[in-house]
Amino acid sequence: MITLNDYLFSGDTVLKILLQYSTNLKDEAIKNHNPIDMAHSNFLIQIIEILEHTEFLTSQSQRINEFYMYMANKYPFLAFTFKGRIKSLIRAEEKFNGYILEYIHDYYKANGRFPNEAEIKNNLNCFRDLIAYRIVISLPLCHVSEQENVEEQEFKYLYEIANVLPEFLEERGFTAELSGLSDKNGSRYLSENNLPYYRDYVQTPRASGYRSLHITFYDNFARCYTELQLRTKDMDDLAEIGRANHFGYEKQQEENRSKRDMIPEGKSKCFDEAYERLIKLQELDLASINVNMFKAYNNQLINDGCGLFRGRQILPFEHLSRFQNDNEVGKL
In the chain, the domains with their CATH numbers are: 4-329 (3.30.460.10)
Report the distance separating Cα 194 and Cα 181, nearest Å. Answer: 12
Report the distance separating Cα 210 and Cα 240, nearest Å. Answer: 10
For residue 165, the tally of other CB atoms under 10 A from its CB is 24
Q: Is the pLDDT of residue 37 over 80?
A: yes
- Amino acid sitting at position 6: D
Tell me what pLDDT residue 293 has.
Answer: 63
Q: Is the pLDDT of residue 198 over 60?
A: yes
326 in Cβ contact with 47 (< 8 Å) = no
pLDDT per position as a tens digit, 115-150: 999 999 988 877 888 899 999 999 988 888 888 889
70 in Cβ contact with 165 (< 8 Å) = no
Going by C-alpha positions, the residue among 38, 136, 124, 129 that lies closest to residue 88 is: 129
Q: Average pLDDT in the 69-76 region?
A: 94
pLDDT per position as a tens digit, 245-279: 655 555 666 777 788 888 989 999 999 999 999 99
Average pLDDT over all residues of the chain: 85
Report the distance separating Cα 309 and Cα 319, nearest Å. Answer: 27
4 in Cβ contact with 21 (< 8 Å) = yes
- Weakest mean pLDDT among 17-21, 76-80, 254-258: 254-258
Q: Which of 26-40, 41-55, 77-91 has the highest mean pLDDT?
A: 26-40
157 in Cβ contact with 132 (< 8 Å) = no
User: CA dihedral in degrees (291, 297, 129, 109; nearest 10)?
Assistant: 100
201 in Cβ contact with 212 (< 8 Å) = yes
Report the distance separating Cα 109 and Cα 235, nearest Å. Answer: 34
Nearest-10 crossing angle of helices 243-262, 233-240: 50
Please report which residue ranges of the chain form alpha helices under DSSP H: 14-32, 35-52, 55-74, 89-111, 117-123, 150-170, 233-240, 243-262, 269-282, 326-329
Helix H or strand E encompassing 85: strand 79-86
pLDDT per position as a tens digit, 156-193: 999 999 999 999 999 999 999 999 876 556 677 899 99
Tell me what pLDDT residue 316 has.
Answer: 62
Tell me what pLDDT residue 76 has.
Answer: 92
More confident residue, 302 or 84: 84
197 in Cβ contact with 149 (< 8 Å) = no
- Amino acid sitting at position 8: L
Tell me what pLDDT residue 185 has.
Answer: 60
Report the distance separating Cα 25 and Cα 225, nearest Å. Answer: 24
pLDDT per position as a tens digit, 206-246: 888 899 999 999 999 988 899 999 999 999 988 877 776 65
For the chain, percent of residues with pLDDT exceeding 70: 84
Tell me what pLDDT residue 331 has.
Answer: 40
Report the distance separating Cα 36 and Cα 118, nearest Å. Answer: 8
Tell me what pLDDT residue 79 has.
Answer: 93
Tell me what pLDDT residue 218 has.
Answer: 96
Q: Is the pLDDT of residue 296 over 70?
A: no
Tell me what pLDDT residue 324 has.
Answer: 44
The string of DSSP letters for 22-53 reads: HHHHHHHHHHHT-HHHHHHHHHHHHHHHHHH-
